[in-house]
Structure 1
Amino acid sequence: MSFPSSVRLVEVGPRDGLQNEPDPIATSTKLELIDRLGGAGIRHIEAASFVSPKWVPQMADHREVMTGLSRRSGVTYSALTPNLRGLEAALECGIEEVAVFGAASETFSRKNINCSVAESLERFAPVLERAGKAGVRVRGYVSCVLGCPYEGEIAPAKVAEVSRALFEMGCYEVSLGDTIGTGTPLKAKRMLEAVAREIPMDKLAAHFHDTYGQAIANLYAVLEEGIAVIDSSVAGLGGCPYAKGAAGNVASEDVIYLLDGLGIETGIDLNALAATGNWITQAIGRPNRSKVGVALNAA
């Protein structure tokens, strides 16, 4: 058992955390959130999603967000670009990194993006090719790695197969998503072992949701295996709209508290992060789902 000496946190709150909010959130609020996160020491922020406003109305201001950022030195501001049109729009905004997403579940893929897993991967090929020519890095997401709302259990071999396909297409990193938050530590280890046989561990990230309260335990399990990149969302914002009772992403504050306790370096100021979580949840009228954030703000 050996933990990484440092972990890179990928903050997905401004995109994954806010995208399903029913009421419009002002662009100025999103920009302030991104700036506060950068001020807390976060070095990788997923800021927007270049998808059709018809499908994700909350992300309709993606251009305004990406061009209105107060860019901090050493911080990567990325965006989701599931197709070529989205990528071209992101490139016009000076994007430096984008992300594409596939699923380890055929049914989820069909219901979520209306195509098979194989077809979804084919659609990404021109995105990766164009991004490569533009000198833009591409990150890959795999959904439903520890369970699917339609199919239930997902075979680790299927997760490994989709992950390898994204990696071989040119994704510099593959983020493994427990989209509905049903995973447990042993399942997480077994899934990761299968994927790590196909892709080097230092090219993998964990993106765990907390529906069943297992996200921190699952992260501890994969940290033991050598994972050194974790996706999280400030105040635990977000969640999969298809998951029953989805509690959202694992809270960034809870992750940092765990990592600090393990002596793992992150470069992130927990108190500033907790204050940011408190501020954004008040701004959008949502409960703060970070246990650490609630405790620190009550102290």
Structure 2
Amino acid sequence: MSMQRHLQSMLMRAGRRHNDIGTPGAWGFGVGVTPYDRVPAGWEPAADHTTPDADGYGNYTYLDGSVAAYVPAFYYKWGTGSNGLSINTIDIKNIWTFRDRAHAAQSGYALHRAFVDGGQVMPGAFVDKYQWSANSYNGNVVAGSIKNGDPLSSSASRNGWGSLLTGLTTTDNIYAGALKAAKTRGQDFFCNSRFIWAALAMLSYAHAQASSSTERCGWYMAGANYPKGNNSNNAARTDVDDTSCSWTSKRLQLLRPDGQRVDIRKIHAQRSKLGHCRSERQRLGSHARIHEQRLPFPHFQRGRIDRRCDGRHDPVYGSVERSRVFGPSRQSRRHL
């Protein structure tokens, strides 16, 4: 039996298949397994990438050690109260449900715009699991998606990518510098789009509606059922709704012009989005080091999607940087 068929049989025994977004409220919803013959060059699947209730489900590691999660394309339908769904509810269907987009439209479903590139439908995208941090690889320093890395930013005094990454200069310590930072891992990587962030938010919303406990939704909380973060802006470094959710900080020491070292204990960051005309801020509070920040999905951390624009119908993958803007953040992506 070929490796691909063996992998597919394993998924089928688990009630899943390749490129399956999963079921809201169930283990592994929001990520999936890319077809074995579609894994991009340089990426290797995690040992447990086919196990829906495992931390490594749908996870892949790039040559530099960066970790990403694969998000399969999906169809969605918003409830209107007269289309079979209650108002403001959402239903998610995997890509196998309909023959094509026209067939889906007959039932009121649409393919999410995040998976259309240059008019062509992409089967999925790889999303960085962690914030960008300076990562040494092959003699260079690149923007990597490494667990517990010290977040990069556009500020020269706060791990500025223009100051730390190979090929960039201090003049790149601006939001636009994220575009160049993304490509330090490879020319096929680039920043996330507003559409991709919208897809992640939609999956998060769908999972919240289908969850009633923390068993399969780690951030579940009655009355505040959405992903949690370090957003309370206080010394406790907790979530404003869930104080049991906290972060550990790491001091950053900055060198002042007079030669004195100063501890920086608070970092406010925002993420930049492509295709979005305004900036929204998300306080990351006083952490220069972020522990695993769970994505809006049950089993993997937050990241961003990226793709390569070569017009081929393959999955997309990327490298994310999470320190700066809410929506399409600074990230890289790539199509196979």
Length-normalised TM-score, structure 2: 0.26
Look at both structures and tell me which one has the larger radius of gyration over its CA atoms. Answer: 2
Looking at secondary structure, tell me which structure has more helix per residue.
1
Looking at secondary structure, tell me which structure has more strand per residue.
2
Length-normalised TM-score, structure 1: 0.28
